[in-house]
Amino acid sequence: MPNPAVRALFDGMASTYHDLEPWYEHLYVLLHEILDRHIGPSPAGGRALDAGCGTGFQTARLADLGWQAHGVDISGGLLAVARQHVSQAELTRATLESLPYGDASFDVAVCCGITLSFVDDPRRALAELGRVLRGGGRLLLECEHRPSLDLAWTLASALSGDRLGYGVPLREAWRALVARADVRVPYPGYGMLRLFRRRELHAMLRAVGFTPIREWGVHSITNVIPSPLLHRASLARPLATTYRALRRLDTALAPTRTGRALANSLVILAERAQPAA
């Protein structure tokens, strides 16, 4: 069953969700570049799924690349906006843990926009994505990563009376920084987010028949600016100039070990195993 709190959260964001803040603008520019290069144009009749499609940023990109694009999301409000932007896609309200498709229905899938942080059972969601992908199909997954510099900023904010605006009590900020497993931290406007370690994601993917083949890190160097300062409609000129320079460096570091280690968002390209003969 859909999580009513998560559904209400995103239904409430629907009217402004398609207006990208500077933080998400950078994220989606890089995600689209990765999608274009490593998912690429559709073969004849190719089918693609955007799992946690929101208002359709990735769905539209898949459609532009010629895929028969399908999207699922828990929020009816977000789907209503998506239908205005991606009229050619098939959009369905559903949870990732119970996808309304048959086995091996899709050639590729994407699951981005920190969708996995809001799923009640991430392992089951990844198993469902594996079920609906054909053997050899590719999954592009983007998750909130731990560790990241943003967690250090969260702790610094808590120690300074929340001057940076994270809104996280000191005990929770410290727990998120040092916890070894099932790391969760509240974030302004989004409620509780689950953060994932690289090793944890690899284990979950392999357990349901995926093999990770490429990785990138997003918001590694841009994290020298506390993220609440970038979650706003526009930036003051000095900050905007600094952020543009940091974005260029962040893009260059994205495929490197340093970029992945420091990233706020970890992006993994994985391939579904071929069925046994």
Would you say residue 277 lies in a domain?
A: no
* Per-residue pLDDT tens over the stretch 46-93: 999 999 999 999 999 999 999 999 999 999 999 999 999 999 999 999
The domain total for the chain is: 2
Q: Which of 190, 223, 256 is the last residue of a domain?
A: 190
Would you say residue 244 lies in a domain?
A: yes
For residues 3 and 19, give the distance between their C-alpha atoms in angstroms, rounded to a whole number: 25
Tell me, yes or no, whether 207 and 114 share the same domain: yes
CA dihedral 129, 133, 138, 142 (to 10 degrees): -10
Identify the DSSP state of 227: G
Would you say residue 245 lies in a domain?
A: yes
* pLDDT for 274: 83
Tell me, yes or no, whether 30 and 108 share the same domain: yes
Tell me, yes or no, whether 23 and 116 share the same domain: yes
Tell me, yes or no, whether 26 and 125 share the same domain: yes
Tell me, yes or no, whether 131 and 246 share the same domain: yes
Tell me, yes or no, whether 42 and 140 share the same domain: yes
In contact, 126 and 67? CB cutoff 8 Å: no
Residue 275 has pLDDT above 90, yes or no: no
* pLDDT for 184: 87
Q: What does pTM read for this prediction?
A: 0.95
Whole-angstrom CA distances from 123 to 42, 119, 129, 164 are 28, 9, 10, 33
Residue 181 has pLDDT above 80, yes or no: no
Tell me, yes or no, whether 36 and 81 share the same domain: yes
In contact, 98 and 118? CB cutoff 8 Å: no
Q: Which two tokens stand for residue 188?
A: 């302004």
* pLDDT for 270: 98
Residue 1 has pLDDT above 70, yes or no: no
Terminal-residue alpha carbon distance, the chain: 35
List the domain range (segments joined by +) for residue 106.
4-145+196-272
Tell me, yes or no, whether 21 and 128 share the same domain: yes
Residue 277 has pLDDT above 90, yes or no: no
Beta strand segments in the chain, E:
47-51, 68-73, 90-93, 106-111, 133-144, 183-187, 191-195, 210-218, 265-272
Tell me, yes or no, whether 127 and 223 share the same domain: yes
* Per-residue pLDDT tens over the stretch 15-48: 999 999 999 999 999 999 999 999 999 999 999 9
